[in-house]
Amino acid sequence: MAGTKAGGLKAAATNKAKYGKAFYANIGRKGGQNGHTGGFAANPALAKIAGAKGGRISRRGPAKKH
């Protein structure tokens, strides 16, 4: 029954029976705690610089007019 809606419901019931009613809430909580917004989201100016560098080393070649 793997890959069906009924199979998924059975698996969910098994997980809740084994690990408690809050099994899926705990998975979500761990994911939320794990997420740290960094990189380009924290520094848009850095994203602009990196994008410009990437554009300069593009492998596409110059644009062609049809």
Whose tokens are 């998975």? That residue is 27
Q: Say what the pLDDT of residue 8 is.
A: 93
The model's pLDDT over 22-37, given as tens digits with 9 standing for 90+, comes to 999 999 999 888 867 7
The candidate with the shortest Cα–Cα distance to 52, out of 37, 44, 64, is 44
Question: What is the C-alpha separation between 26 and 10, in angstroms, rounded?
Answer: 19
Q: Say what the pLDDT of residue 14 is.
A: 96
Q: Say what the pLDDT of residue 48 is.
A: 92
Backbone angles phi, psi at 23, to 5 degrees: -55, -50
The model's pLDDT over 35-59, given as tens digits with 9 standing for 90+, comes to 677 778 788 899 999 989 988 887 7
pTM: 0.48
Evaluate if residue 1 carries a pLDDT over 80. Answer: no
